[in-house]
Amino acid sequence: MLGANIERWLAVGKVVLRVIVPVSAPDVQEALRQAGFFVTTVNASGRDGEVRVMFSVIARKKLRAALRVVEGTYPRAFITVEEVTTAQLQEVATREDRLSRRFRMIRK
């Protein structure tokens, strides 16, 4: 429990903030952008009609500020937050890559 509390206090890492609002709602994405957050928006269909789904990857330390912006713009927004783990595909070597590097080293 001590480790979990320390991690929460340090707020290390990043989170994905997902905000879902009706298309007719005030412009939450613009409010987030003006506050300095990067936002990707996707139009979608929800149970009650057309919605906008906004994604923003932010530092966990800035989460409260982002939530204040969203709640100040549209308090009825549906908000979820998830921890981020990244997949760095550029650094993953395939078996063939490793074998070809070995053979190049042997030939030289």
What pLDDT score does 45 carry?
Answer: 95
Query: Which residue type is seen at 94?
Result: T
Q: SS3 for 16? A: strand
Q: How confident is residue 64, by pLDDT bands cut at 50, 70 and 90?
A: very high
What pLDDT score does 106 carry?
Answer: 54
pTM to 2 decimals?
0.70
Q: Facing residues of 41 across strands?
A: 54
Percent of the chain predicted with pLDDT > 70: 68
- Look-up of token digits 């330390």: 61
Q: How confident is residue 53, by pLDDT bands cut at 50, 70 and 90?
A: very high
- The first and second tokens of residue 21, run together, are 């609002």
Pair 37, 56: CB distance under 8 Å: yes
What pLDDT score does 40 carry?
Answer: 96
Render pLDDT for 14-51 as a digit per residue (tens, 0 to 9).
899 999 999 999 999 999 999 999 999 999 998 889 99
